[in-house]
Amino acid sequence: MRILVASSNRGVNGAVVYARRIAPLLRSAGHHVTLACEPGSWIESAVGADVPLLRTDFSRWPLREADRVAAICRAEGVDVVHSHLTRAGNFAALLRARHGVPSVAHLHANHPQPHTGLHDLLIAVSRDTAARQRVVPWNWSVPVEVLPNFVDPAQFRPASAGTDPLREALGAAPSTPVVAVVGLISRRKGQDLAVRAFAEVRRSRPDAVLAIIGGGELPAGLPMEGVRALGQRDDLPGLLPHATVVIVPSRDEPFGLAAVEAMACGVPVAAFAVGGLREILKGGAGISVPSGDIAALARAVRGLLDDDASRRVQAERGRAAALTRYGPEAHVAALTTLLARGAGQ
In this structure, which amino acid lies at residue 237? P
Q: Are 88 and 69 in contact (CB under 8 A)?
A: no
Spell out the residues 6+ positions from residue 205 whose beta carbon is closer than 8 angstroms to its own. 177, 302, 305, 306
* Same domain as 334, residue 320: no
pLDDT above 90 (res 309): yes
Q: Across residues 312-339, what is the average pLDDT?
A: 96
Main-chain phi, psi angles of 227, to 5 degrees: -95, 135
Q: Across residues 220-248, what is the average pLDDT?
A: 96
* Same domain as 273, residue 225: yes
* Same domain as 297, residue 211: yes
pLDDT above 90 (res 329): yes
Q: Across residues 322-336, what is the average pLDDT?
A: 96
So what's the pLDDT on residue 67?
A: 97
Q: Are 292 and 251 in contact (CB under 8 A)?
A: yes
So what's the pLDDT on residue 82?
A: 98
- Beta-carbon-side half-sphere exposure of residue 189 (alpha carbons within 13 Å): 23
Q: What is the CATH number of the domain that holds 12?
A: 3.40.50.2000
Residue 218 is given by DSSP the state P
* Same domain as 195, residue 332: no
pLDDT tens digits, 76-98 = 999 999 999 999 999 999 999 99
Q: What percent of the chain has pLDDT over 70?
A: 100
So what's the pLDDT on residue 161?
A: 79
* Same domain as 229, residue 108: no
So what's the pLDDT on residue 49?
A: 82
* Residue 113: inside a domain: yes
Q: Are 44 and 37 in contact (CB under 8 A)?
A: yes
Confidence of residue 160 (pLDDT cuts 50, 70, 90): confident
The alpha carbon dihedral of 25, 31, 32, 36 has a sign of negative
pLDDT above 90 (res 112): no
Confidence of residue 318 (pLDDT cuts 50, 70, 90): very high
Q: Across residues 310-317, what is the average pLDDT?
A: 95
Q: What is the layout of strands, in order, in the sheet containing 287-289?
A: 227-231, 209-213, 178-182, 245-248, 269-272, 287-289
pLDDT above 90 (res 5): yes
So what's the pLDDT on residue 146?
A: 97
Helix (DSSP H) and strand (DSSP E) numbers for the chain: 13, 13
* Same domain as 144, residue 42: yes
Q: What is the layout of strands, in order, in the sheet containing 80-84?
A: 53-55, 32-37, 2-7, 80-84, 103-107, 121-124, 144-146
So what's the pLDDT on residue 75?
A: 97
* Residue 160: inside a domain: no
* Residue 280: inside a domain: yes
pLDDT above 90 (res 114): no
145 class by beta-carbon count within 10 Å (0-12 exposed, 13-18 middle, 19+ buried): middle
pLDDT tens digits, 9-56 = 998 888 999 999 999 999 999 999 999 999 999 999 998 888 999 999
So what's the pLDDT on residue 18?
A: 95
Spell out the residues 6+ positions from residue 44 whose beta carbon is closer than 8 angstroms to its own. 37, 38, 53, 55
So what's the pLDDT on residue 272?
A: 98
Main-chain phi, psi angles of 223, to 5 degrees: -75, 105
* Same domain as 297, residue 331: no
Conformation bin of residue 167: beta by default, left when phi > 0, alpha when psi is -120 to 50: alpha
* Residue 159: inside a domain: no
Name the residue range of residue 225's domain.
165-325
pLDDT above 90 (res 128): yes
Q: Are 38 and 58 in contact (CB under 8 A)?
A: yes
* Same domain as 120, residue 43: yes
Confidence of residue 113 (pLDDT cuts 50, 70, 90): confident
The vertex-156 CA angle with 14 and 232, nearest 5°, equals 45
pLDDT above 90 (res 291): yes
In this structure, which amino acid lies at residue 308? D
Q: What percent of the chain has pLDDT over 90?
A: 93
* Residue 91: inside a domain: yes
So what's the pLDDT on residue 162?
A: 82
| Rounded Cα distance, 317 and 13, in Å | 27
So what's the pLDDT on residue 132?
A: 94
Q: Across residues 164-172, what is the average pLDDT?
A: 96
